Structure 1
Amino acid sequence: MKSSYLESIEKQFLYYKMLGEKAMEQLGEEQLFWQYNQEANSIAILVNHIVGNMLSRFTDFLTTDGEKAWRNRDTEFENPFSSKNELMAYWDKGWAYLIDALSKLSESDLETIIYIRNDGHTVIEAMNRQLAHYAYHIGQLVFIAKMLKNEEWKTLSIARNKSNDYNQRKFLNEKDKRHYTDDL
């Protein structure tokens, strides 16, 4: 049986995966490669970096340093993709590594020390670190998508001026322990 932490962290990761996907679904292929300037990241570059990090961190998660010798972080800030399909296949690969690593964890693993660049972390600390890192970059991804879509943007959260409607719907439910993403 999974601990409440493991259930919660998995739902949090999946929530950010969903946000990234719903943002990218709204864009045309060329928009995924748009850069504000040469120093700015495109969505494609953000995906390349996020997935590169996932592959490194979650390959042999409990047994090897999270910064693999084969990882070349600097090239993650270049665009290797030629199509949206290629980009999305890579996105799916990274998330599959993460979810697979999570599925293998148990309560007894949570205080295990793992290393990222020789810095020791408990599994909980490492998971929290990765969640914050991915949320940071997926927030950037969503912001770029929202700018590109402008008035055509379909919100990914509570719509502007709809907070009261959302709250009314939520307060119709009986009080119960549930994750806030359960009804998204």
Structure 2
Amino acid sequence: MNFHENYLKSAIFEFHRYKKMGDKTFAQLSEDEIQWKYKETDNSIAIIVKHMVGNMLSRWTNFLTEDGEKSWRNRETEFEGEYQSKTEMLAAWEKGWKCLFEALNNINASNFNTKIKIRSEEHTIVEAVNRQLAHYASHVGQIAFVGRMIKGNDWASLSIPKGGSTDFNKKMFGNSNSA
């Protein structure tokens, strides 16, 4: 496997991992909980998703041929007005990820060296993908953190639960001392 194939496989895996973390968080939350804010000035999970989706659609639509900051995007409105329902939020979430994965699936050896522009700044494909991977990872972390705040003791861990490392290591490695 050459570099571009290995890199894309790894990036796609990581994007799927963060999408799954979001999916697992949403599954634990009600209609009202996706709108919850710690303080009035904070963003709810629904607002964070709205921003992520706006970013995804802008960055990944015509990824190889157009600037990632589209003229039709209004970033400021992504932080105003929430989705009317959890179903609407989830549909938008899926639309954003679909756009991202379709764009990544169109990258190949013949276009891997294409320069990508984001806000008129030139990026290699690796730089552009890494930029978005870091951006989405930070927001999914916010989503999971807010979800955990909301659920408290009812939160189902998205990874190894607190106090579960020994059991996890036994299952994975056959003993509790493996890293």
TM-score in terms of structure 2 length: 0.92
Q: Which moved more, 1:53-62 or 1:102-111?
A: 102-111
Structure 2 gap ranges (5+):
175-179
- Give the partner amino acid of 1:25: A
2:155 pairs, out of 153, 156, 161, with 153
User: When the two structures are aligned, how many residues end up with a matched partner?
Assistant: 172
Q: Distance in 2 between matches of 1:128 and 1:108?
A: 20
| Matched-pair identity in % | 50
Q: Distance in 1 between matches of 2:56 and 2:69?
A: 10
Q: Is the 8 A contact 1:44 1:79 kept in 2?
A: no
Q: Is the 8 A contact 1:48 1:79 kept in 2?
A: no
2:50 pairs, out of 44, 48, 51, with 48
Q: Distance in 1 between matches of 2:72 and 2:40?
A: 26
Aligned twin of 1:181:
none
- Give the partner amino acid of 2:62: D
Once the two structures are TM-superposed, the CA of residue 160 in structure 1 deviates from its matched residue by 1.0
Q: Distance in 2 between matches of 1:53 and 1:67?
A: 8
Relative contact order higher in (CA < 8 Å, ≥ 6 apart): 1
Aligned twin of 1:98:
100
Q: Distance in 2 between matches of 1:168 and 1:89?
A: 39
Q: Distance in 2 between matches of 1:36 and 1:15?
A: 26
1:110 aligns with 2:133: no
Q: Distance in 2 between matches of 1:94 and 1:115?
A: 19
Once the two structures are TM-superposed, the CA of residue 78 in structure 1 deviates from its matched residue by 1.4
Distance 1:167 1:110, change over 3 A: farther
Look up the SS of the partner of 2:78 in the other structure.
helix
Aligned twin of 1:8:
10
1:30 pairs, out of 29, 32, 35, with 32
- Runs of 4+ displaced beyond 4 Å: none
Once the two structures are TM-superposed, the CA of residue 23 in structure 1 deviates from its matched residue by 0.4
Structure 1 gap ranges (5+):
173-184
- Give the partner amino acid of 1:120: E
**1:95-149 CA-partner distances (Å, limit 9, x unpaired):** 0000110111113433321100011100011000000000001100100000000
TM-score in terms of structure 1 length: 0.90
Look up the SS of the partner of 1:3 in the other structure.
helix
Q: Distance in 2 between matches of 1:80 and 1:165?
A: 41
Q: Distance in 2 between matches of 1:161 and 1:153?
A: 14
Look up the SS of the partner of 1:107 in the other structure.
coil
Give the 5 Å matches for 1:100-179.
100-172=102-174
